[in-house]
Structure 1
Amino acid sequence: MNKLFASISVEFKKLFHSKIPLITLLTFMLIPFIGGFFMFVLKHPDFAEALGFISTKAQIIGSADWPSYLSLLAQAISIGGLIIFGFIISWIFGREYSDRTIKDLLALPLSRSTIVLAKFLTSFIWCLMLSLFVLLVGLLVGMMLDLPQGSKGIVAEGIIVFAVCATLTVLLSTPVALVASIGRGYLSPLGFMIFTLILAQIVAVAGYGAYFPWSIPALASGAAGNKAYIVEEVSLIILLFTSAFGLLSTMLWWRLADQC
């Protein structure tokens, strides 16, 4: 256990000595502020009319109130998180190959499973911290806009939906680590993330999103036009199986594949 904690500490040092935390933090900062801008446009029709095309696009997300705003945040973390969370985990795993430090890493007196688990936990913790940051900033922006329908029950429900969507999206990042390990870098996982994001939209439109893991977080957020719902049992099983497959397969790859 001490070795695992030490490995996590080292992984965090690697992470924060890079520009990845700053890049991902600034990228996610856009979510609450863009959402707040849309709410502002909807709340001030005269300003929206002056902008013209902005008002038309803003109508897609509904009215200027807390339920619409929190739903928008949940949808953004579900869809955008597939890319940002995937980017984080692909860097954490892929950098060892790109920087040619994989041999030095495997020469340490640590099991390969411990190394992989430390990388996963580091990426999960940072992704969840980013999600929490987005939520807190989003709540602050919502209060500054003085949005209506902000009862404790409505806000609490929106926070729960956001937390569920963020957690499910983070769990779906494990297959990216496998692709980064097999591809020995960043390019393969980038292509994989774009492919799954596009396919998720197509499958959701076709009506089978509940059975495709990368569509499930967006469906849970209400992105399909329906109300956000608690994830169905079959969808949750599929998503957890996909996450477990990515995690265990990555561990097996690092243990059995030739890393030289």
Structure 2
Amino acid sequence: MTSPRRAAYALEARKLSRAPVSRIATVSTLVLVLVTTAGGFAAAQYSTETDMGRQAATLVTAPGWAGYTALATTSVGITSFLAVGIVMAWSVGREFTDGTIVGLFALPASRSTVADAKVCAAVLWALLLAASESILVTAAGLALGLHGDGAARSALAVFLVAALLGLSALPVMWIATVGHGYLAGIAATLALVVVTNIAAGFGLGRFIPWAIPVLWAAPDSAVHPALLLAPFTVAVVGALLTRHAWARLELGND
């Protein structure tokens, strides 16, 4: 017989994989990353006489794979965090908005187990999305004529940036729980994107966990790899806060 824990994990994985919001987020993210990275790099290399080409050239700050990777991670940094944050907010918040939270109290699995299942399903999806982005942009770089020697390193950098930023969106699940709806989580996601970009613009990016991965991947970066532990720590804290909040849920307060 299937254990309550295993059933909860299977249920959350099935709900996330079949949800239109996760499918739309996946396709939209992959398309946007591919278009902005490959399209931007191609414009910078082959259309330098056009306005678009000149604008794209300002974003490609180094030749070869270094510049291509920096462009890819910049694109991934925005799109991945937004997509994952929105899906994570939906995964938790929909239970309150749609009123299905009541049914979860009737499951044999504990509420903390349900939270763990939601977190694990979201994390697995975020990692699969990061891997897909990495493979897609690396293949596009090779198709654009970049030498194969730097492909593996670029793919790893893109994956790390996408994975860390996706995982660092986990606090959004806690916010959606506390806010009893996905709108609170989506608002938090947008706020983090705005704050991160403003801080990076003022040169404070190395102090912001959500900016560190992209800055680390930039050519001639001064960001020490140890700082990549910051977004990972944020992810762990977000998962623990989400679990704690779900463990304390009561029907009368939902």
Distance 1:58 1:64 in 2: 13
Match of 2:58 in 1: 60
1:154-195 Cα distance to aligned partner (Å, 9 max, x none) = 222212221221221122111100111111112111111111
Contact kept in structure 1, 2:45 and 2:57, CA below 8 Å: no
User: What is the TM-score with the length of structure 2 in the denominator?
Assistant: 0.88
* Equivalent in the alignment of 2:209: 213
Q: Report if aligned partners of 2:169, 2:189 keep a CA contact under 8 Å in 1.
A: no
Percentage identity across paired residues of the two chains: 24
Letter in 1 for 2:36: I
Counterpart code for 2:26: L
* Matched residue, 1:71: 70
Deviations along 1:217-255, whole A, 9 cap, x unmatched? 222222xxx53466443x344433322221111111111
1:247 maps to 2:239: yes
Partner of 2:250: 258
Which runs of 5 or more residues in structure 2 are unaligned? none
Question: Cα offset for 1:104?
Answer: 0.3
- 1:146-185 matches, cutoff 5 A: 146-147=145-146, 150-152=147-149, 154-185=150-181
Q: 1:23 is matched with which residue? A: 24
Question: Counterpart of 2:42?
Answer: 40
1:111 maps to what in 2? 110
Separation in structure 2 between the aligned mates of residue 135 and residue 229 of structure 1, nearest angstrom: 23
Between the aligned partners of 1:123 and 1:208, the Cα distance in structure 2 is 29
Q: TM-score, normalised by structure 1?
A: 0.86
Confirm or deny: 8 A CA contact 2:215 2:223 kept in the other structure.
no
Give the aligned residue type for 1:100: G
Q: Which residue matches 2:220?
A: 227
Query: Offset at 1:141?
Result: 1.7
1:12 corresponds in structure 2 to 13
Aligned length: 249
2:198 corresponds in structure 1 to 202
CA-CA distance at 1:64 after TM superposition: 6.6
Cα RMSD between the aligned structures?
Answer: 2.2
Task: Tell me what 1:190 maps to.
Answer: 186
